[in-house]
Every structure is written in C-alpha cells, then in structure tokens.
C-alpha cells in the first residue's frame, strides 16, 4: 500500500484550483505518456528550461530585438481590427520617453483589452520584443501588470516546456498551487551525504527550482536541483539493486560443456576471436555453469562480432543437451543473423531453423513439431518466437538482439518458454557507462571494444546539400567502378511542415537517372517487399539502395562501399555512426558522404566534426550523450523506456556512482527496508513509480 503521506502528491491535477477537464487533458499531453493520468507530482517534476530576469527593465531604445524584456510603457491608443476583418490583428500603441512599441493580439476581445491596457495608463508589459517593419512589436505579452502587480511578480520567472493550448500563466498558477500541497516527508537521503553536499530538504529544493530567488537557482548543478536529481537516481539504483538481488535468489540450471562445439565453430571462422570477444565468451560460459540465472548485456561497436559470441554461448547449452533461441526485432535482421550463423552451425553439427511471420503453410507446423521434439538446437526468429504455439523441448538460453526495441514483457515471455532460462541481451550501440548503470544496472555487462581484423577505415566527408548534383555524379563514377551505394533519407514522404528529402521522392529521381538498378526500402513497406528489395541489393541486381533508417542495424552487404546520408544534421551521432557501419565491410576503400542543409547550428556542427574525427563507437556514444541527453541516445523518448525527469545525466552523471553505492550499502544493512531510513526510502520508490521494487520486498 502506498504510504498515505504521499496522497497529496498522487492526487489528480483536477484537484488543483482552476484545472477543469479541458486543461487537465492538455496537461496530460505535456506531462505524461499516453493513457496515464497526470498527478500533482508530475507537475512538480516538470522542470524549467530557462528564465526571464524581470529585475532588468530597459528603456525601449535599449531593448535587443528577439529577446524577452519587461518594459514600462504608457498606453496611447487602441486600434481594433475593422468589423469586416475580424482575423486582422488588434494593435495597441504604447511608448516611453525613448521609443514606441506596438502590442499585438489576435482573436482577442476588445472589452478585455481595454480593461487590461487602458489608454493613458502606465503598464509593465513583458514578452518577446521583435522588429516588424523597422518598429518594435510585442506579440501576446506573457505578463501585463500595473505598479501594484509588478511588486507581486517574481523577479526571476522560470520558463517551462509547453504544449499547444497551455499558456505559461496557467502552468505557473498550477505549479504554485502544487507547491502548496507538498507534504512534510521523512528524509530518505543519508544525513552525512546531504551535509557534505549542502543539499536542502525535498520540499525546499522543489520551491527553490520553481520559485527561484536568483538565476543560479535554475542551474542544474545547483544544490537544490542536484538534490532532486540524486533522489531520482537513488530511486532508480535502489529498484535495480532490489531486482538484481531478487533475480540472484531465483534458482537457475547450470549448463556446463567441454567445449567441443565451440572448438568446431572457432575452427570454421576465417579469423581468430578478438581479446574482448574471448573475454566475453569466457564470462558467459562461467555464468552458464552457475546454478543462478544469467542476465548479461553484451554491447559493442558496429561489426565487433556480437553474433559470433552469441553463437558460442548457444553452442555451450546445445552441447549440454539443451536448446537456445535467438530473437531479433525485425525480419531483415533475423534473416541476416540466420545467414551469418548457418555455415558455422553446419560446421559444428548444430541443427538450426528460422521462424518469422513469413513461415506459413506446412513449413510452420513442421518447425514447431521438430522444436517440441528437441530436433532443433537453435531457433532464430522475430517476436514470432514467443507466441503461444511455440513450444521448446528444453530451452536453456534466450538471446535477445537490440533489446531496447522489445518491451520487458516480451523479453520475459521468451524466458518463460523454458525452466530457469538464462538471458543474453545484445545491442550494436555502444552504451555510455552512465546509461549502462542507469538502465542495465540489474545486468552483468560485457563490452566488445575492438573491430574484427579486416574492417576498413571509412573516408567520411561533410558537404552542403546545394552540392547534390556533384554527389550524384560521384555516385555515377562509383557505379561505373562496379560499386554499390546506400542512399539514406530521413522521411518516407514529403510532409507539409518539413523540407526534408523524402525517400520515395529521392528513389523516383535516382530511378530516372540510373534506371531499374535503384531499389527502395522503408519502414512502411510490407515485410516481403522489403526483403525483396534487400535481396536485390545483396545479390547486385540493384546497385543503389534508397532507404530510411531501417538499414541502421544489422544489414550486411560487404560489396556496398558508398554511403550517402541526406540531412545528416537531423540524425543523432550514434545513429550516423550506425548507418556508416553498414559500409567498410569488404576489401574496397569506403566513402561516407554526409549531406547537410546550411547553415549548421553549433550542435550539428560538433556532431559532424566528431564523426569525421573518429570511428570509435564508445567515444561517439559518450559525445552523443553530452550533446543530446540520455532520452534521445537510448531511444527512450520514442520507445517508452523511463527517461529522467529531474536528472540530466550530462550534468548529474557524477552522482550516479554515489547513488549505486548508497543503494548497495543500504540493502546490505537493511535488506527489507524496515529501519526509519528504509521506510523513508520506500516512500521515495513510490514517488518515482518504482512500485515493482516494493513488491519484490514483500515477495522475499
């Protein structure tokens, strides 16, 4: 049961004054994921992104256009729109002794504006000042007050992210009302830690951030914000530590083997394992032999050989007389893994099969009956693997590729297909250390740092889009040399709000130029059409593959040696690195052309510069985190993984180790969280929606 002390923070936003059904629905869109009901706590965890300093009140002649200013002006005259043009702007002329300002409203009521800004009165107006036709203009001011109202205005006014229909004033009023509801909660942070860092209490920290007395109160590195960030990190690390402890207690079934099958696979490889591959295989074999269940993350750079490590893990349980499953998020990727594994499995005498949505008719029942009888050792497939009619004879190991594309429930559905199934999770995106601790803290981790022998360095260049004609000529020369080309576009079709090149439009244009050798693949195509286009490119009957980012992970065509990425400034750094990793796999020198729309902003410029400078995926992942923040790097914004609300890992990452150690120490001393601090930490877990972890406390 949730502690009653938290009820004011878990109350619906409708309980706050002035929030009716319409505003509550708009707040829901701003504050929570689809289908969730926003709580008072969600409002308090909605952090500012900037501030307006109202202490500085310039004369109109001193105002810098395109900045927010608070100015004292005398209202001179109202100019409402003519009766026959109700959509025209309502303009109000105002001035001080140095210049004139036009205050402009659209769709505003005349009686309301005459009362708010009466002619001849002195008013303080605050908002963004722009230059329109050489004159100063303020469109829909944020604040309009008289002398008495100015005295009540906060001198530092936080600026928050908004959604359409939510006015800044409505949000500020709601946050002020929510701050009044913050209860007096027991302190869950360690007293010595708080004192060393100068952290205020929880309620005081919320007030300092939402009602700042000075601009520095809104700095994420400040004590108040850092205190709240540490609360969130501690809740996460405590939940992961409880989960990890619970998993450790669950009995496993050890799978030990002499290594005959592993030796046959190693002998069939055209190269020897890299040191980190050998280390990862050693760790996995040791895990599999234990009576506890394995839960291990294997992450590495593009082409670092994760599939081979996974196959060697599968060979271990197969030699012990049991089965393994290898699940990929897309049919393209599942077939790619199957093609890579098949010759090695044949050399080792491993019985291999594939199961995706495409296996139908007689084929599917035959595969299912062989699987149930134990005549298939390793089954590769998509989410088709965890459907009810898929029954294993004795599943020992589940391998899940690109796990962030699967929900936790889908992963668990696969592990329930056997008794005490070990789990190996793969990702081709090197994950920054802080994110490994944050999102995968319940797992053991192996890293593949080196690239396999024979991977080529890729010549990476950045060019403005207005040189497109030259790029097309360069592609023609590459085709004349017998090379194959990827051409990546960020959108499927032209949208009204975006000038991005569409994959379909680019395909049509290149098709006119080069004919039928241009294939197209994007996420909205049927799986069979996608596979057909990929197969044409792999066999060489198509020589240019125009694609969206569906080719980002796992697609392997060694003959492709040119990559063109349009609007490279719109992609994340790690994503660009993933795309680039599709080339440089064969013997030819490879070229990656990053086409950008000028002028580049500072972040995009930094991104392209890093990409030209290095091909080290781990360094790129750390830089990507620094430039973009954790939610975008892991895809949590899109995938529904829990991104942070208060912590900014690029700022607060250094607090993560302390939170991890604090959680570990606390559970060693008080495994059931029954001491006074333990009971306070239970409230912290509820506050940050980690109820799952509290249920584990009861489960023993």
Q: Write the DSSP string, 140-195.
A: S-SEEE-HHHHHHS-SEEEE----TT--HHHHHHHHHHHHHT-------S-HHHHH
| pLDDT tens figures, 462-471 | 999 999 999 9
**In-domain check, residue 93:** yes
> End-to-end distance of the chain based on CA atoms, in angstroms?
17
Assign residue 402 the CATH number of its domain. 3.40.50.300
In a domain, 234, yes or no: no
Instruction: Establish if 521 belongs to a structural domain.
Output: yes
Report the DSSP beta bridge partners of residue 446.
298
Residues 293 and 400 occupy one common structural domain: yes
Looking at residue 39, the DSSP 8-state letter turns out to be: B
Q: What is the pLDDT of residue 409?
A: 55
Residue 285 sits in the same domain as residue 399: yes
pLDDT in tens, 384-406: 888 889 999 999 999 998 755 55
Q: Is residue 442 part of a domain?
A: no
Cβ pair 408, 642 in contact under 8 A: no
Pairing verdict, β 422-427 and 484-488: unpaired
What tens digit of pLDDT does each residue of 510-560 get? 999 999 999 998 877 887 888 888 889 989 999 999 988 766 555 678 889
Q: Which helix (H) or strand (E) holds 139?
A: strand 135-139
CA dist list (Å): 86 to 107, 118, 676: 8, 21, 64
Q: Are 76 and 119 in contact (CB under 8 A)?
A: yes
pLDDT digits (tens, 9 = 90+) for 23-57: 999 999 899 876 778 899 999 999 999 888 888 78
Q: Residue 73, SS3?
A: strand
Please check whether residue 355 lies inside any domain of the structure: yes
370 and 517 share a domain? no
In a domain, 205, yes or no: no
Q: How many structural domains does the chain have?
A: 4
Q: Which residue, among 503, 527, 638, 496, has the nearest Cα to 575 in the 3D structure? A: 638
Mean pLDDT taken over the chain: 87
pTM over 0.75: no
HSE (side-chain half, CA atoms, 13 Å) at 193 = 16
- Do 364 and 403 fall within a single domain? yes
Task: Give the separation between CA 468 and CA 603, rounded to whole angstroms.
Answer: 23
Q: Counting beta carbons within 10 angstroms of the beta carbon of residue 458, is it exposed (0 to 12), middle (13 to 18) or buried (19 or more)?
A: middle
- Clarify whether residues 62 and 38 are in a common domain: no
Q: Which domain holds residue 343?
A: 260-429
CA 456 to chain centre: 29
Does a structural domain hold residue 562?
Answer: yes
User: Cβ(440)–Cβ(297) under 8 Å?
Assistant: yes
Closest CA to 519 of 486, 550, 494: 486
Q: Does 409 lie in the same domain as 495?
A: no
**Is 660 a member of any domain?**
no
393-452 pLDDT per residue, tens: 999 999 998 755 555 556 667 778 888 899 898 887 777 777 777 767 667 889 998 876
Does a cis peptide bond (omega within 30 degrees of 0) precede residue 599? yes
**Which residues sit opposite 462 in a β-bridge?**
594
Shared-domain flag, residues 348 and 468: no
Asked if 403 and 516 sit in the same domain, the reply is: no
Would strands 395-401 and 143-145 be described as parallel, antiparallel, or unpaired?
Answer: unpaired
Residues 297 and 406 in one domain: yes
Q: How far apart are CA 562 and CA 575, in angstroms?
A: 17
How far, in Å, CA of 545 to CA of 7, rounded? 56
Give the domain-ending residue among 380, 408, 429: 429
- Write down the pLDDT at residue 342: 96
* Residue 216 predicted with pLDDT over 70: yes
Q: How far is the C-alpha of 506 from the C-alpha of 595, rounded, in Å? A: 14
Q: What is the pLDDT of residue 636?
A: 40
Q: Coil, helix or strand for 378?
A: strand
Is residue 5 located within the same domain as residue 40? yes
C-alpha 364: how far from chain center: 36
State the pLDDT at residue 496. 47
Tens digits of residue pLDDT in 318-348: 999 999 999 988 887 888 899 899 999 999 9
User: Do 424 and 572 fall into the same domain?
Assistant: no
CA distance 159 to 51: 5
Query: What is the rounded distance in angstroms from the CA atom of residue 590 to the CA atom of residue 582?
Result: 10
Residues 167 and 135 in one domain: no
- Residue 672 tokens read as 């059931």
CB contact at 8 A, 349 and 403: no
CA gap 511, 534 in Å, rounded? 16
User: Which two structure tokens, joined as six digits, stand for 396?
Assistant: 């020992």
């Amino acid at each position: 049961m949730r502690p009653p002390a938290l009820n004011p923070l878990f109350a619906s936003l409708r309980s706050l004054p002035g929030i009716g059904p319409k505003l509550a629905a708009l707040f829901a869109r701003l504050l929570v994921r689809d289908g969730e009901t926003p709580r008072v706590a969600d409002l308090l965890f909605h952090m500012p992104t900037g501030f307006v300093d109202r202490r500085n009140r310039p004369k109109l002649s001193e105002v810098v256009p395109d900045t927010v200013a608070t100015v004292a002006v005398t209202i001179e005259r109202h100019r409402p729109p003519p009766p026959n043009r109700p959509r025209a702007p309502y303009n109000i002329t105002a001035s001080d002794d140095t210049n004139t300002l036009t205050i402009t409203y659209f769709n505003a009521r005349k009686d309301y504006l005459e009362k708010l800004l009466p002619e001849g009165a002195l008013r303080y107006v605050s908002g963004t000042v722009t230059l329109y036709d050489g004159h100063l203009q303020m469109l829909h001011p944020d604040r309009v007050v008289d002398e008495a109202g100015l005295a009540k205005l906060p001198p530092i006014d936080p600026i928050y992210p908004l959604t359409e229909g939510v006015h800044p004033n409505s949000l500020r009023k709601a946050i002020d009302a929510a701050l009044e509801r913050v209860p007096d909660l027991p302190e869950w942070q360690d007293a010595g830690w708080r004192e060393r860092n100068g952290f205020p209490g929880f309620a005081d920290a919320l007030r300092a951030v939402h009602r700042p007395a000075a601009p520095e109160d809104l700095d994420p590195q400040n004590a108040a914000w850092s205190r709240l960030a540490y609360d969130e990190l501690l809740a996460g690390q405590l939940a992961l530590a409880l989960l990890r402890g619970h998993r450790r207690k669950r009995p496993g079934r050890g799978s030990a083997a002499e290594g005959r099958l592993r030796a046959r696979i190693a002998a069939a490889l055209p190269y020897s394992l890299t040191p980190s591959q050998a280390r990862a295989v050693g760790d996995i074999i040791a895990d599999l032999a234990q009576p506890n269940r394995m839960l291990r993350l294997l992450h590495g750079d593009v082409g670092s050989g994760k599939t081979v490590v996974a196959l060697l893990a599968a060979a271990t349980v197969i030699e012990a007389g049991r089965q393994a499953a290898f699940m990929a998020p897309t049919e393209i990727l599942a077939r790619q893994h199957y093609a890579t594994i098949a010759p090695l499995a044949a050399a080792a005498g491993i019985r291999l099969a594939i199961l995706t949505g495409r296996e139908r008719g007689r084929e599917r029942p035959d595969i299912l009956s062989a699987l149930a009888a134990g005549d298939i050792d390793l089954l590769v497939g998509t989410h088709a693997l965890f459907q009810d009619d898929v029954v294993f004879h004795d599943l020992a190991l589940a391998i899940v590729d690109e796990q962030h594309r699967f929900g936790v429930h889908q992963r668990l559905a696969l592990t329930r297909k056997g008794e005490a199934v070990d789990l190996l999770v793969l990702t081709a995106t090197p994950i920054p250390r802080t994110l490994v601790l944050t999102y995968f803290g319940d797992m053991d981790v192996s890293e593949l740092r080196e690239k396999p022998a024979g991977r080529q360095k890729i010549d990476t260049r950045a060019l403005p889009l207005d040189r497109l004609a030259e790029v097309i000529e360069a592609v023609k020369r590459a085709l004349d040399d017998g090379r194959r080309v990827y051409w990546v576009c960020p959108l499927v079709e032209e949208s009204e709000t975006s000038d991005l090149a569409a994959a379909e439009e680019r395909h049509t244009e290149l098709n006119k130029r080069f004919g039928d050798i241009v294939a197209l693949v994007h996420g909205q195509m049927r799986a069979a059409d996608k596979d057909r286009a990929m197969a044409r490119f792999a066999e060489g009957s198509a020589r240019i593959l125009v694609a969206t980012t569906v080719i980002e992970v796992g697609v392997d065509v060694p003959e492709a040696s040119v990559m063109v990425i349009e609007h490279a400034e719109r992609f994340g750094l790690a994503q660009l690195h993933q795309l680039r990793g599709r080339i440089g796999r064969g013997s030819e020198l490879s070229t990656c052309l990053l086409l950008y729309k000028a002028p580049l902003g500072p972040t995009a410029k930094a991104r392209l510069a890093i990409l030209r400078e290095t091909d080290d995926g781990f360094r790129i992942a750390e830089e990507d985190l620094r430039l973009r923040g954790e939610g975008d790097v892991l895809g949590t914004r899109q995938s529904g993984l829990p991104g942070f609300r208060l912590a900014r890992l690029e700022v607060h990452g250094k607090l993560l180790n302390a939170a991890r150690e604090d959680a570990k120490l606390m559970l060693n001393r008080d495994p059931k969280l029954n001491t006074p601090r333990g009971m306070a930490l239970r409230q912290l877990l509820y506050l940050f929606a980690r109820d799952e972890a509290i249920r584990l406390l009861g489960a023993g």
